[in-house]
Structure formats: structure tokens, C-alpha cells
A = this chain, B = another copy of it.
Amino acid sequence: MSGSTFGHLFRVTNFGESHGPAIGCVIDGCPPGMALSEADIQPDLDRRRPGTSRHVTQRQESDQVQILSGVFEGLTTGTPIALLIPNTDARSKDYANLLDTFRPGHADYAYWRKYGLRDPRGGGRASARLTAPMVAAGAVAKKWLQAQHGIGFLAWMAQLGDIEIPFTDAGQIGLNPFFAPDAAVVPRLEAAMDELRKAGDSVGAKIVCRATHVPPGLGEPLFDKLDADIAHAMMGINAVKGVEIGDGFGVVAQRGSVHGDELMPRGFASNHAGGTLGGISSGQDLVVTLAIKPTSSIRLPRASIDRANQPTTVETHGRHDPCVGIRAAPIAEAMLALVVMDHALRHRAQNADVSLPVPSIPGRIA
């Protein structure tokens, strides 16, 4: 039972491989009547696309999205929105070697054991290229959530390898290739990446993603809690190995008298929770942190086996990101938007009639 559909009511089905003719997705369940064109989607794709700095893969893809269905005279019709992104810079003439061996840390071996065969060209289905349709679908969700609820999404890099990145200025995030919210740290990041590239190695990163103005009430206990579905979405992004909501692993040593965010008529006094209580949004900002592992495709030689279980050595050349975390910020935003969108629809399906005599308190004290 292949799992290429995300979401229950705002459903996104992703297809394609790194070196096939095209990648894309079908969005089923988008509310009708929303203005939508390629111009709403392209900016996020441009933030994610490869080849934009020397620190990421040099594959040149313009990632031009086409809307094939679901829009009539500029408005969504409520029927499936098919999005197509042609692959234009696939170079896969020589993959015989890739097919026969398995990169340590890569999906190669697991795909082969699962399906008995795999498309090895550019990582095939396991390629981070498949995050492009996620970003495209997320852009549609973002537009609706902004229009309906004023919800905004913002992700940034908080650490690259052992370099911690302070959050000093959100305005900087879009101005450097690292999505770093601090201008001063950028030269250090560039130097580290240059060194890494020379070494033929890769490194991990930490990404933080935040959603603001999320209304209270989103999330479906007992199992489809909002934070649980966020964890599902985030851990499913290529290379993610850890997910935190709010204080995350910091809660282990906390006391309850510190952790529990006090409620006041003017708003929540703090946000240790990261936006969810009992798996339901509280009205506080959603704050999610991701750990992204170092890329598996590196030039340094590693011990491995081939398809006959014989020992071999693998060195990976070609075009690869030495830190996939660098382009992960738009992906994290998109996946968070897909979760919130799905839950916005799920919530109103059951609870559209609920009304309370007092408004919800602000997410934080102004």
C-alpha cells in the first residue's frame, strides 16, 4: 500500500522520479472559489529550486509549474488540481554503477529490498527533488489559510553543522542562500560550506518552522492530533531524523510549574507548548524544529555491499547538495501548511456549528 497521498480532506498525491519526464501532484479537496494561478505557486518553488547558489546542487531546473485542472477562469472549482513540473536537466546516461551498489545512509538498499528493483537515476523516487510538488501543493494551502484565517508560515535555519544561528532578524531569511535569520553569521556559513565541498563530505542542519495566527481547535485526538500529524509530515521530509514541538527535548528537565503556559485574558504568557495542548491548537504560534541529517551522497569512500552481498567501496560523484538542510526551509513551511490546511477542513466538518460566548484569547500577550 504505497503512501504517496498526504492528508485526509485536503489530499495531495505526489508522483514522479528525479529523472523521469515530469514530477507533480494532484490536490483533491481544495475549496472552490479561490483565485489561483501559477503565479501563486512559483515563488515558493523558486525558493526551493536547485542551482541558485554554489552551496547546493548545480542541477539546473527552472521548476516551472503548470496547472492542468481544477481551475476555471482563474478560480478553483473544487475539483482536483493537477500540477505538473517537467524535469529538464536530468543526466542519467550512466547509472549502471549506481544500480549495483548501495550508498551508506541512503535509501538505495531499503528500496531494493522492498520493491525488488528501483529507479537509480538521480535517486529515483527517493530524491529530494520530489519535495518540489510538496512545495507547490503547500503554496495552494498557504494561500487559502492566509485568506481565510490570516495564518502565516515562516521557516529558517537555526544551526548548520556546529554553527548555531541566532534569530536576530526575520527580514534576513530571504536575503541569503541559507535561510539564516542573521546577517553576521552568513560568512561563517559560506566558509564552512566551501570547506565541506572541498572535503567531499556533508553536514546536518536544524530548521525551525513557525505558523502564526493559527485559530484554536485544530487537531483530532486521539490519534490525529495536530502535533502528531505535524510530526508525521516533518519526519517524512527527506533526511529528517528528529522533530520537536515547542520546547521539544527541553521539556525532559523542566518542571510542570515552568512548562505550562499560563493563560491570561490578554493572551498566553509564554509558549513552551509550541502551539498545541492535548494535540489541539491553542491559538499560540505553532513552533516546530527539525533535525536534518547530512547527505548520504558524498565523495569520500565508504564501505558497502553490492546486490550480490559482496563487499565493495562507494564514492558518489555527480551533482548533490552537501547539506540538504539549506533548501529545507520552504519544504518545512509547505508541509506545515498542508497539515494545518487539512485540519482546518477536518475541524469544520465536525464542529462548524460550535460557537462560544467569548472569543479565544490571543496566542501571546501583545
Residues 226 to 285 of chain A near chain B (Cβ within 8 Å): 227-236, 238, 241-265, 269, 272-274, 276-283
Please indicate the chain B residues that have their CB under 8 angstroms from the CB of A269 in the complex.
303
Inter-chain contact A305/B241, CB cutoff 8 Å: no
Residues of chain B within 8 A (CB-CB) of A292 are 251-252
Q: Which residue from B117, B119, B161, B231 sits with its C-beta under 8 Å from A232?
A: B231
This chain: copies in complex: 4
Contact of A9 with B by CB under 8 A? yes
- Partner among B202, B243, B281, B300 whose Cβ is within 8 Å of the Cβ of A110: B281
Q: Is A97 an interface residue (CB 8 A)?
A: no
A51-73 Cβ-contact flags toward B at 8 Å (1 or 0): 00000000000000010111010
A27 CB to nearest chain B CB (Å)? 9
Interface size on A, as a range, is 35 or more
Are the C-beta atoms of A277 and B107 separated by less than 8 Å?
yes
A191 part of interface (Cβ distance < 8 Å)? no
Contact of A333 with B by CB under 8 A: no
In the assembled complex, A189 has its CB within 8 A of some CB on chain B: no
In the bound complex, CA of A205 to CA of B260 (Å): 15
A279-321 residues at the B interface, CB under 8 angstroms:
279-283, 291-296, 298, 300, 302-305, 307-311
Within 8 A of B (CB), among A108-135: 108-119, 121, 124-126, 130
A204 contacts the other chain (Cβ, under 8 Å)?
A: yes
List of B residues within 8 angstroms of A259 by Cβ: 105, 204, 293-294, 296
Is A179 in the interface zone, CB < 8 Å from B? no
Residue of B nearest to A19 (CB): B72
Contact of A223 (CB < 8 Å), options: B3, B77, B111, B224: B3
| 5 residue pairs A–B, Cβ–Cβ below 8 Å | A16-B80, A33-B353, A115-B351, A116-B354, A230-B235
Q: 10 additional contacts, CB 8 Å, given A1-B224, A307-B358?
A: A6-B222, A17-B79, A32-B115, A32-B354, A33-B117, A104-B262, A204-B259, A251-B292, A251-B294, A256-B294
